[in-house]
Structure 1
């Protein structure tokens, strides 16, 4: 076994990984609950094989068929699609989508305009803090604002996180419903050419926005220090461009330009300038400017097309990321703050008993599977209760 990850050896390692480490039984149970009342065979799976060979509309009826497919095809990537009214592999042209988990995809590349530590595919512990905020904001909103309980969080394997909501009401949401949820959770709008991307209105902020700002406040000063948003001329210019009032913008530029290039010092000075300005001017247009800036720099940046799309395919939990070799591990949202990317199991350390990380990575893999198990058990319990309630109501009539 190679001491370091070698993508060229993936085809040799994957059959062993799928048979020894991939939680096949739990995976099928999770999908089965998400399929109800349709059979598991109506769920679409997609495989990406070696040399980027792409297979869609695959399906399984049970764990044995999954194991056979794994061994026969050895997928380098496994994606999960929707539930159809018929088996997708035999009727894909006439198939109608009936259900799909409500999914969210948050990728650090969407933070490239603000993060300074890394760009593109690179990721470190500093920019991972954006994922910590995203997970807490989205998870809290899903539970408190929508009442969802069956929520699965998964590391993408490289630079982001995925969220799967398996509650029956979430799975059966139509396209307008999914769009409404996505729009509700999306506060940052506009493309690269738009400077100010957050606009809060009204006499009072919505409770969900205020709650999100409270979550951001727990990390904001740390992120400002780590990312040094405002320490450079370019970074300071970005801040100035989101200030709509020309007088305030000029005052801010004159003061901050004289300070040492410390982002936190400049941010604290800006708050003082803003508060003093508000005492002597009509500030309705900039009433929530501080909150808007915090949101623009730290609020979750969702790929809304993934959430809105009823039939979007998303990488399966416990897939291997071909480029990094990392496992797409399940994690508890309350533990993401202590999650270290170096501690995420990789296929080569799991299969190489001599690797120095082997023991720790195996333990972390067991923890991830246990977290997955807890979500599956809760989903099965919830589904059983829901079906019993439906049966009882039906009998009453």
Structure 2
């Protein structure tokens, strides 16, 4: 059945996508270099004071990051572009934007308030159109104009960039170097393809419940570090639509971080380095940094269940040999090799137990308990610690896919993840766009006279459309399985806006105090 199209009044990573990169950047602007995968010096985090991690110097702050971007084109030049095969047809996409996409809440999130401000008006949006044309430096002064343009262009997806000092649409009329990024959320990207060498259940774009746990682990470790080590509070985790997750750190202090601080935080969280053939990828100094101690406590249960049982990572000869290469004693390695060769197919759990069992019986002059313990801790971290695409985090200029857009390959909505219930999040149960539109049709058929609901707004919440009697018509998203995700997004925005208002009052009070003091003689 074709889906009806209604106005909003009735409803009001770079590797994550096989077809389109998560964070494309400009390729058509002269004078702007686009490094990708640039070499960065490794930074040892263990035993380093937190404040010492902010001494990361670089001389390429002005450069734009790249992620295999589609070709950027200007308005009116898209007809010659090669059509992009997608699974979501244009009519379905348009119906989603008209009936379900939370434009107003996205505006309030990026605007940091209800009244339009430069935080939104000077924000860059990049649109990927249905024919693969890519439009950068789009901006909108109000939520209504933003919505109208998205409906007019009907993009397959769009990404969010930084807030500039000037309107990014005016970049061609400005002199060289006049358009500068001022702020942007600190972002992180987790992609399951970075775990392909240690997940046995799936590979590439495919995922299942067993390997999704790697993303769950990463979210728990990174979220804990951002909150406990850096003091951030407003962290929005978003499902990428297929095989990953993005973090948006929205605290004012995070949004205003310069690129060198962003690189330092990315370096602080970066641990697993090098390819699968590069030798030991985790080699921490002792005593362990508190962040690593905390991460180990989070990850140990996951190592037992996921690495040893669900993935059975070491059952094959290649990974078994890899495990032996990470152990510190040659005699122990030889004993383990002989035991495992005599019992092909021995489970990963049994092999892990064998390490301690044989270590207790060996009389080696080089093996001691603390050395073996440290090696096993490093192995646990190598096989479970977050593998982040750190390039996404290092530069303010980097674009990232917006929450609530549709992943063109799966049709699923990029919904927020409630970090309080992260272990219950199931990416395979996230609704797709066709399902949602069908749910609206079903609800409308069962309620031909429509329905209203009582308005029960609490202090600090994002307001709903309501009439003078305190009741309002149900919005279309409330008729669907998208409702809990938008409700969570609204509550997240409410907390963020409350802090924004408190901060503005404090700054206003400080300004008044300064003015009063300046009048005294």
> TM-score with structure 1 length normalisation?
0.92
Of 219, 222, 240 in structure 1, the residue corresponding to residue 302 of structure 2 is 219
Of 350, 375, 397 in structure 2, the residue corresponding to residue 311 of structure 1 is 397
Report whether the alignment pairs 1:374 with 2:459.
no
Higher relative contact order, structure no. (Cα contacts within 8 Å, ≥ 6 residues apart): 1
Alignment correspondent of 1:161: 245
Of 405, 409, 414 in structure 2, the residue corresponding to residue 328 of structure 1 is 414
- Which segments of 5 or more consecutive residues in structure 1 lack a partner in the other structure? none
Count of aligned pairs: 394
Alignment correspondent of 2:501: 384
Report whether the alignment pairs 1:128 with 2:212.
yes
Distance 1:129 1:276, change over 3 A: farther
Indicate conservation of the 8 Å contact 2:87/2:411, yes or no: no
Q: Which deviations, in whole Å up to 9, do the C-alpha atoms of 1:48-82 show, x marking residues without a partner?
A: 01121101000111111111111110010110001
Alignment correspondent of 1:247: 331
Distance 1:320 1:237 in 2: 42
Of 8, 32, 57 in structure 1, the residue corresponding to residue 137 of structure 2 is 57
- Aligned positions of 1:88-107 closer than 5 A: 88-91=168-171, 94-107=178-191
Name the Cα RMSD after superposition: 2.7
Distance 1:388 1:123, change over 3 A: same
Report whether the alignment pairs 1:42 with 2:122.
yes
Alignment correspondent of 1:338: 424
Distance 1:344 1:257, change over 3 A: same
Corresponding residue SS for 2:380: helix
Structure with bigger gyration radius: 2
Alignment correspondent of 2:288: 205
Corresponding residue SS for 1:15: helix
Alignment correspondent of 2:357: 272
Distance 1:277 1:201, change over 3 A: farther
Distance 1:384 1:213 in 2: 38
Corresponding residue SS for 1:352: helix
Distance 1:299 1:36 in 2: 41
Q: Which deviations, in whole Å up to 9, do the C-alpha atoms of 1:205-245 show, x marking residues without a partner?
A: 11111111111112221112111111111121121222243
- Which segments of 5 or more consecutive residues in structure 2 lack a partner in the other structure? 4-84, 447-476, 515-521
Alignment correspondent of 1:350: 436
Report whether the alignment pairs 1:295 with 2:375.
no
Distance 1:275 1:291, change over 3 A: farther
Alignment correspondent of 1:146: 230
Distance 1:306 1:50 in 2: 25
Distance 1:137 1:288, change over 3 A: same
Indicate conservation of the 8 Å contact 2:121/2:141, yes or no: yes
Q: Which deviations, in whole Å up to 9, do the C-alpha atoms of 1:261-284 show, x marking residues without a partner?
A: 211111122233346669964547
Q: Report deviation, 1:8.
A: 4.9
Distance 1:274 1:311 in 2: 51
Indicate conservation of the 8 Å contact 1:46/1:81, yes or no: yes
Q: Report deviation, 1:355.
A: 9.7
Distance 2:363 2:298 in 1: 25
Q: Report deviation, 1:296.
A: 0.6
Alignment correspondent of 2:258: 174
Corresponding residue SS for 1:212: helix
Distance 1:21 1:275 in 2: 62
Indicate conservation of the 8 Å contact 1:39/1:61, yes or no: no
Corresponding residue SS for 2:190: strand
Distance 2:362 2:271 in 1: 26
Q: Which deviations, in whole Å up to 9, do the C-alpha atoms of 1:112-151 show, x marking residues without a partner?
A: 1111111111111110000110111111111111110011
Distance 1:263 1:381, change over 3 A: same
Q: Report deviation, 1:335.
A: 1.7
Distance 1:344 1:38 in 2: 34
Of 18, 22, 32 in structure 1, the residue corresponding to residue 111 of structure 2 is 32
Alignment correspondent of 2:155: 75
Distance 1:36 1:112, change over 3 A: farther
Indicate conservation of the 8 Å contact 1:104/1:307, yes or no: yes
Q: Which deviations, in whole Å up to 9, do the C-alpha atoms of 1:170-219 show, x marking residues without a partner?
A: 111111101111111111112343131001112x2111111111111122
> TM-score with structure 2 length normalisation?
0.71
Corresponding residue SS for 1:161: strand
